[in-house]
Amino acid sequence: MPIVPAPAPAPAPAPPAPSPAGPTAEQLKATCDALKGQVIEGVTVTGTVRFEAKAPINPSGFCQVLGTRAPFLDIEIDVPDNWTGRYWQQGGGGFDGRIASVVTTDPGGAVIAVSPVLAVKGAVYAASNGGNRASVPVQAAPGVWLSGTPDARQSAIDYAYAAGGTTVRFGKAVAKAFFGKAPSHSYFNGCSNGGRNAYIAAQRWPQEFDGIVAGCETMDMGGTVTGLMNTAAKAATPAEISPPQYAAAYAAAVAACDASDGATDGYLANPGACTLPAASLQCGQPGANADPALCLTAAQVPTLAGLLSDLTLATGATAYSKYNWTNFAPASAIPGVPALGVTSYGGLGGGFAFLATNDPLWFGAPPPGTAPAPNLASFDVNRDYYVFSSGLQRLGADHDKNAIAAYVASGRKLLSWHDAGDPLMSVNDHVRNFTTMSNAAKSFGLADPRTNARMFIVPASTHGAGGNLNEVDWLGAVVDWVENSKAPEQLTYSFMAGATARTMPVCEAPKYPRYNGTGDVNAAASFTCTP
């Protein structure tokens, strides 16, 4: 897909030079207002909003700068008055289409929360919609990419990688417009597609980011899409497992393996230790559910067993590593938004398969992903793995582990993480690819890759759990690592288990949290990270 160049914009006017002591509050407010209509790094500033300090939500006033670049890329930059010199870029999720704003508002539009990135760390905050608009159906991904128009091709390229580059150039230029200097420390953070964005940032713009947090992606989208489509190919066949059956299977796994983390509490903190075989849940087996609607048929058992096993090629190589035990078909947490499990495999995988091949038959019936895609009937792992991998690489949507290793070997910091029981993207595939990348960093002269790159496992069984900075303090961890040379050893996951507030250690792989045998089972202090 060739990049279609936009007309050259008029240059932005030079900002007034700040005083040696830094701009005054009045100067910051004036700059906020003056940016409206300017074109900066090819992005047109469509509006600015001034937010005054509001204790305890945000201790400092800030300017929100909104910009757009054709065809559909929208960007938000938030510049605090008490800027600490930090720059923080936030990745997206799914097929993007929305900006992960620094502010959270109530239905009336009042600000009820501000990200700790700005409120606590005083960083300039940057985020984009990834190059498409979910609120405008004809501009929303993945459907927008089907038309093949120049705008559609550019939207796909923006989603693949280009939105990240435009955002960092625009964001840092906006910071300089306010303060007359570049950021002193820059960071990228993301989970899921944001994790893909984070690894893309490491390999494409390594000089722009001192520290990167990359979560709940695998560092190999070709393999991931192959795994997703391998299971999606079972849809509408006797091998397809229903969501209630998946829930019943996971309940059996919890019952069988609950004590594997030292605590019998109905929660699997170490699902990788659970080896309950799928075959034991086949109707008629002693361990199977007594309800014939919930036990597995002989045709369904290989589907679950396949999820719990590595997907290998005819050569013996692993295309996609196994999942840990989890509920593979969780209910959606948000009405109208697809659940992040097997019911999303065809839609998510189909979107990336289209990006790799430009073949609309990888989509289901309109809208994309609502019925089995025609191409799934002839899915062939030994052919399509290579088709997906090479196509995504050509587009720039996949990863170069050697380039990521070079980022790590250069001295910059990479904090990777994944949920132990992620039902959408395999934690074991992420660990496998992280290990490959780390070994490559050794070949680049980094004796101990842990010096600059570490992988952590969040003890959770949903996709993206722990991605909120109030759940796990990735922000403090990466800032301490970059600015104070304090490498993270163990973090804390704060979450709700039903109506119960719990904390649990986030351990560096391959360790997991094990209950000490005494103390409050809901407190992280009662667990030890154990090999």
Average pLDDT, integer, range 135-146: 96
Six-digit token string for 187: 């960071």
Mean pLDDT across the chain: 94
Longest dimension (CA), the chain: 79
H or E segment to which residue 458 belongs: strand 453-458
**Predicted local confidence at residue 339, as pLDDT:** 81
Is 5 a residue whose pLDDT tops 70? no
Residues present in the chain in total: 531
- Taking residue 445's Cβ as centre, other Cβ atoms within 10 Å add up to 7
Closest CA to 421 of 301, 267, 240, 237: 267
CA gap 396, 207 in Å, rounded: 18
**Predicted local confidence at residue 392, as pLDDT:** 98
- Cβ contact 327:247 at 8 Å: yes
CA gap 86, 185 in Å, rounded: 5
Average pLDDT, integer, range 159-176: 98
Out of 35-44, 301-310, 366-375, pick the least confident: 366-375
DSSP classification of residue 18: P
- Cβ contact 50:30 at 8 Å: no
Q: pLDDT tens across 396-438, in order?
A: 999 999 999 999 999 999 999 999 999 999 999 999 999 999 9
Contacts of 269 (CB under 8 A, 6+ apart): 261, 263, 420, 459, 504, 512, 513, 514, 515, 527
Q: Residue 302 class from Cβ within 10 Å (0-12 exposed, 13-18 middle, 19+ buried)?
A: middle
**Predicted local confidence at residue 20, as pLDDT:** 54
Q: Give 40's strand partners.
A: 43
Average pLDDT, integer, range 279-295: 97
**Predicted local confidence at residue 6, as pLDDT:** 40
Q: What is the pTM of this model?
A: 0.94
H or E segment to which residue 455 belongs: strand 453-458
Strand pairing class (512-515; 86-90): unpaired
Q: pLDDT tens across 347-357, in order?
A: 999 999 999 99
Q: pLDDT tens across 474-483, in order?
A: 999 999 999 9
CA gap 201, 88 in Å, rounded: 12
Six-digit token string for 399: 């990863």
Alpha-carbon distances, residue 110 vs 106, 107, 278 (angstroms): 5, 8, 50
SS3 content of the chain, % helix, strand, coil (to 5): 35, 20, 45
